[in-house]
C-alpha cells in the first residue's frame, strides 16, 4: 500500500518537476535490469574519478580517445588537468577535440593546440585536434533533421571513447553534459555548423538559426551517430562542479552561483545528463535558480526527451551513491 502511495505521489510530482521514482536520489533497484545505473561520488577528487570509471565495469581498451573541453583562452571554467590526469594516464588516453565554429581562440588547429598547452593539457597527455586534416561523415539513423554527422577525420583512429564532461549551463543548449560533448564536441568545425543549423549549412549558421527545438533535436541526432558508431566501446563521466550558467567555450563565463554536486558516470548518456539535471533541481542550494532558469529558458530538457525517443538512452535510471 505504501509503495502504491509513493508511486502515485511521484507520478503527480513528475508532471511538475520532471522527476519520478526511478529518478529519485536514493533509488533502490527495482529488479528491472533495463534501467541504467548512474554512479555518483559527492567528493570530487582524482582518486574518485578513477574509482567511478572502474565502477562502470567497462574497460577502455585499444587506442583511447578522452573527449573533453580544453577551454577557451581567457576562460577558467573547464576540468583542470590535475583532476583528470590520473584517469587519462591510467587508460593511456589521448585528449581529443575539434575546432570551433564560432571563431574565438580555438577556431584553427594551431591556436587550439596553444590553448590546450596554456591550460596544462599537453603536459598530462597527447592532444589531438581531430579535424586538423578534415572530416568524415557518420550516418544518423532515425533522425528527422540530420542524415549525416560530420566528425573530425582522426576520430576513426580510436578504438574506445571516454566522454569526460564538465556539467554546467550553456548559452544555447541550456546545459552542457554528455550529449553536447559527443555531438557538438566531436563534430568538425563545419559539422558544428551543420548541427547548429539543423542540417541546413556547413558554413556560417549564426545569421539564420533554426527553431530552438530543431537545434536541440539535431544535437541528439548527432550524439546518436556517435553512440551507434561506438557500440559498447564508449562510456560517460560528468563532473558537476563550478556550476556556471555558461559553457567552457565562454572566455568570460559567469561565476558559479551554486556549490559543486559531484562526479557521476554511466553507460547511458541520457540517464547521466538526466541525473545531473535532477540533482541540480533537488539541491537545497538557493543558487540553483540561476542554472535552472538557464536550462528551462532554452528548453534544454527537450534534448533528453527527443534523445530518448530516437533510442539514444533512457531518462529512467538507478542512482548508486559510492560515498
In a domain, 2, yes or no: no
- Closest to 223 measured CA to CA, from 155, 312, 134: 312
Residue 97 near residue 79, CB atoms below 8 Å: no
- The dihedral through the CA atoms of 61, 67, 73, 74 has a sign that is negative
In a domain, 39, yes or no: yes
Q: Give residue 250's pLDDT.
A: 58
In a domain, 145, yes or no: yes
In a domain, 313, yes or no: yes
Domain that holds residue 267: 32-321
- Closest to 199 measured CA to CA, from 221, 176, 179: 221
Q: Give residue 93's pLDDT.
A: 98
In a domain, 17, yes or no: no
Q: Give residue 9's pLDDT.
A: 39
In a domain, 16, yes or no: no
- Closest to 228 measured CA to CA, from 122, 108, 290, 140: 140
DSSP string, 44-112: --HHHHHHHHHHTT----SSEEEE-----TT---S--HHHHHHHHHHTT-EEEE---SS-GGGSSHHHH
State the CATH number of the domain containing residue 158: 3.40.50.11440
CA distances from 172 to 99, 297, 299 (A): 18, 10, 10
Residue 107, C-alpha cell as written in the block: 577556431
Q: Give residue 12's pLDDT.
A: 36
* Tens digit of each residue's pLDDT, the chain (323 residues): 444 444 433 343 443 334 433 343 333 334 456 899 999 999 999 999 999 999 999 999 999 999 999 998 977 789 999 999 999 999 999 999 999 998 788 999 999 999 999 999 999 999 999 999 999 999 999 999 999 999 999 999 999 999 999 999 999 999 999 999 999 999 999 999 999 999 999 999 999 999 999 999 999 999 999 999 999 999 999 999 999 998 756 556 788 889 999 999 999 999 999 999 999 999 999 999 999 999 999 999 999 999 999 999 999 999 999 99
In a domain, 125, yes or no: yes
pTM tops 0.75: yes
Q: Strand, helix or coil at 137? A: strand
**What H or E segment, with its residue span, contains residue 32?**
none
DSSP code of residue 36: P
> Parallel, antiparallel, or unpaired for β 64-67 and 160-166?
parallel
When divided into structural domains, the chain yields a total of 1
Region of residue 67 (left: phi > 0; alpha: psi -120 to 50; beta: else)? beta
- Closest to 312 measured CA to CA, from 271, 276, 279: 271
Q: Give residue 24's pLDDT.
A: 36
In a domain, 5, yes or no: no
Residue 190 near residue 101, CB atoms below 8 Å: yes
Amino acid at each position: 500500500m505504501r509503495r502504491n502511495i509513493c508511486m502515485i505521489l511521484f507520478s503527480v510530482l513528475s508532471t511538475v518537476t520532471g522527476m519520478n521514482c526511478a529518478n529519485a536520489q536514493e533509488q533502490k533497484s527495482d529488479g528491472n535490469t533495463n534501467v541504467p545505473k548512474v554512479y555518483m561520488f559527492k567528493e570530487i577528487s582524482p582518486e574518485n574519478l578513477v574509482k567511478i570509471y572502474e565502477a562502470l565495469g567497462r574497460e577502455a581498451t585499444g587506442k583511447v580517445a578522452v573527449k573533453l573541453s580544453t577551454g577557451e583562452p581567457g576562460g577558467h571554467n573547464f576540468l583542470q588537468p590535475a583532476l583528470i590526469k590520473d584517469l587519462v594516464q591510467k587508460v593511456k588516453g589521448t585528449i581529443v577535440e575539434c575546432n570551433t565554429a564560432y571563431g574565438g581562440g580555438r577556431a584553427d588547429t594551431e591556436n587550439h593546440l596553444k590553448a590546450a598547452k596554456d591550460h596544462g593539457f599537453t603536459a598530462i597527455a597527447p592532444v589531438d585536434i581531430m579535424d586538423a586534416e578534415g572530416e568524415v561523415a557518420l550516418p544518423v539513423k532515425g533522425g528527422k533533421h540530420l542524415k549525416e554527422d560530420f566528425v573530425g577525420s582522426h576520430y576513426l583512429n580510436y578504438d574506445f571513447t571516454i566522454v569526460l564532461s564538465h556539467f554546467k549551463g550553456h548559452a544555447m543548449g541550456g546545459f552542457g553534459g554528455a550529449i553536447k560533448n559527443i555531438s557538438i564536441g566531436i563534430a568538425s568545425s563545419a559539422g558544428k555548423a551543420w548541427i547548429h543549423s539543423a542540417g541546413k549549412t556547413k558554413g556560417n549558421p549564426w545569421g539564420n538559426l533554426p527553431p530552438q527545438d530543431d537545434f536541440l533535436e539535431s544535437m541528439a541526432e548527432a550524439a546518436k551517430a556517435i553512440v551507434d558508431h561506438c557500440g559498447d566501446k564508449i562510456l560517460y563521466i560528468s563532473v558537476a562542479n563550478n556550476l556556471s550558467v555558461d559553457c567552457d567555450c565562454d572566455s568570460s563565463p559567469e561565476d558559479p552561483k551554486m556549490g559543486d554536486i559531484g562526479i557521476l558516470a554511466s553507460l547511458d548518456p541520457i540517464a547521466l545528463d538526466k541525473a545531473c539535471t535532477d540533482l541540480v533541481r533537488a539541491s537545497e542550494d538557493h543558487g540553483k535558480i540561476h542554472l535552472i532558469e538557464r536550462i528551462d529558458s532554452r528548453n534544454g530538457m527537450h534534448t533528453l526527451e527527443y534523445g530518448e525517443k530516437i533510442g539514444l538512452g533512457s531518462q529512467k535510471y538507478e542512482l548508486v551513491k559510492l560515498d
